[in-house]
Amino acid sequence: MRESFMQIGRVVGTVVATQKHAKLEGAKLLLVQPTDPDGADRGVPLLTIDSVGAGVGERVLIVVEGRAAGEALRRKAAPVDAAIIGIIDAVTMAEAAGASPGPEGPGLRFAEGSPGASAPGTASEAAGAPVAARGTHTR
CA distance 37 to 92: 8
Q: Which residue has the higher pLDDT, 63 or 124?
A: 63
pTM, entire model: 0.62
CA 109 to chain CA centroid, nearest Å: 13
Q: Are 55 and 35 in contact (CB under 8 A)?
A: no
| Domains parsed from the chain with CATH numbers | 6-87 (2.40.50.220)
Residues of the chain with pLDDT > 70, as a percent, come to 57
If DSSP states are collapsed to H, E and C, what string results for the chain?
Answer: CCCCCEEEEEEEEEECCCCCCHHHCCCEEEEEEEECCCCCECCCCEEEEECCCCCCCCEEEEEECHHHHHHHCCCCCCCCCEEEEEECCCCCCCCCCCCCCECCECCCECCCCCCCCCCCCCHHHHCCCCECCCCCECC
What's the CA gap between 32 and 30, in Å, rounded? 6
pLDDT in tens, 52-95: 999 999 999 998 876 666 666 666 667 778 889 999 999 888 87
